[in-house]
């Protein structure tokens, strides 16, 4: 299995985040990707290569042009304001506030295009985000070309970024971009299976009214965990997408038995959907030692997960999402991939 890795990810290193009532260390840091890369190489999973270049239209196929343009220039606008690096939003639109006018100031723009205070725009953010998306696009191209699977070692992650907003450490939705590229390349139907601890609200947002992409997500109950405002079981799609959205929220403390039962429900829906390929939003933050998550999967169980993904019997694009236990993140990702390859 080929791994696609962009060194530009290291250009995005956030100074911190506003969370839990304080300015704290940023959990989404370059060491995550570096640890995964080291473990993938040690496991002998296959070659590691740089991503190919893709046109801007591959991004705007799922994202609003205004969001993409903002992300391209946001760091320069923030720097021009004369403040220290790290552009954070300080106010957001509430219901019934106007959404038809983009503010002229960088502070207003940050609030217009983002939804939280944990995702600052830095000098290297755009290069990192674009490189991350191109990792996903390259992996999708390999699978479309006949590879059984490919691993996009994406950083920053992507599944919280919606059509016209960013947040949750995410700027461009790598899994959605990969899925759309498969559709554009001739796939009639694509499934996105999101196993990250947090609901992929951005992915749901992008495909909610479409019937050609199934989104299935296993995640923490949004009543009590991030992102709070999407991810409930009664969100099943709209219009042409009715029935093509499956949310499987689980309570804090969930271990392998209940988690794997949810996986089987997702697998059954994917089989019934008749997908030509699956994009796997791979978060390993359901891990029992993850510092910002509250599920109880073990490192060995990630190997079982990989084998079960192989059991779907579909060409598979692995797209890296979350996982914040840096000491174990490489092992957990490698276990998923080796479990898949062995099966």
Question: CA of 253: how far to CAs of 28, 219, 287, 302, 303, in Å?
Answer: 23, 12, 11, 17, 20
CB 329 within 8 A of CB 36: yes
3-class DSSP state of 26: coil
3-class DSSP state of 122: coil
Find tokens 């700027």 and name the residue: 171
Task: Using alpha carbons, select from 259, 331, 336 the residue that is nearest to residue 293.
Answer: 259
How many Cβ atoms are within 10 Å of 147's Cβ, its own excluded? 16
Q: For this structure, is 159 an active site residue?
A: no
Q: Which of 12, 26, 159, 160 is catalytic?
A: 160
Query: 78-85 contacts: CB < 8 A, separation 24 or more?
Result: 78/106, 78/121, 79/123, 80/106, 81/106, 81/107, 84/15, 85/15, 85/122, 85/123
Q: Alpha helix (H) ranges present in the chain?
A: 30-42, 57-60, 65-80, 106-113, 125-144, 174-184, 201-207, 256-273, 299-310, 326-342
Task: Using alpha carbons, select from 225, 312, 219, 226 the residue that is nearest to residue 270.
Answer: 312
CA 154/CA 14 separation, integer angstroms? 16
CA 227/CA 223 separation, integer angstroms? 9
Query: Dmax over Cα atoms in the chain, in whole Å?
Result: 55
For the annotated catalytic residues, the residue numbers are 160
């Amino acid at each position: 299995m080929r791994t696609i890795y962009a060194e530009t990810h290291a250009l995005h290193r956030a100074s911190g985040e506003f969370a839990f009532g304080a300015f704290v260390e940023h959990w989404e840091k370059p060491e995550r990707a570096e640890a995964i890369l080291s473990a993938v190489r040690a496991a002998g999973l296959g070659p590691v290569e740089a991503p190919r270049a893709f046109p801007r239209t591959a991004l705007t196929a799922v994202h609003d042009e205004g969001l993409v343009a903002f992300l391209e220039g946001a760091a320069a606008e923030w720097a021009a304001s004369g403040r220290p690096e790290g552009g954070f939003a300080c106010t957001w639109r509430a219901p019934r506030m106007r959404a038809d006018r983009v503010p002229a100031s960088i502070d207003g723009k940050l609030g217009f295009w983002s939804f939280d205070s944990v995702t600052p725009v830095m000098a290297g953010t755009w290069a990192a985000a674009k490189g991350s998306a191109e990792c996903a696009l390259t992996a999708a191209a390999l699978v479309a070309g006949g590879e059984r699977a490919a691993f996009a070692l994406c950083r920053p992650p992507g599944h919280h970024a919606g059509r016209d907003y960013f947040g949750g450490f995410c700027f461009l939705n790598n899994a959605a971009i990969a899925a759309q590229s498969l559709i554009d390349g001739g796939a009639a139907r694509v499934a996105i299976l999101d196993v990250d601890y947090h609901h992929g609200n951005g992915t749901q947002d992008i495909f909610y009214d479409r019937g050609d992409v199934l989104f299935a997500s296993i995640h923490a109950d949004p009543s009590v965990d991030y992102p709070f405002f999407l991810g409930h079981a009664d969100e099943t799609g709209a219009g042409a997408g009715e029935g093509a959205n499956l949310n499987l929220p689980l309570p804090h403390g969930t271990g392998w038995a209940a988690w794997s039962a949810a996986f089987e429900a997702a697998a059954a829906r994917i089989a019934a959907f008749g997908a030509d390929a699956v994009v796997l939003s791979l978060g390993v933050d359901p891990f029992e030692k993850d510092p910002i998550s509250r599920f109880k999967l073990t490192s060995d169980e990630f190997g079982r997960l990989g084998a079960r993904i192989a059991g779907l019997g579909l060409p598979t694009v692995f797209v890296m999402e979350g996982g914040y236990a840096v000491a174990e993140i490489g092992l957990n990702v490698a276990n998923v991939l080796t479990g898949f390859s062995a099966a």
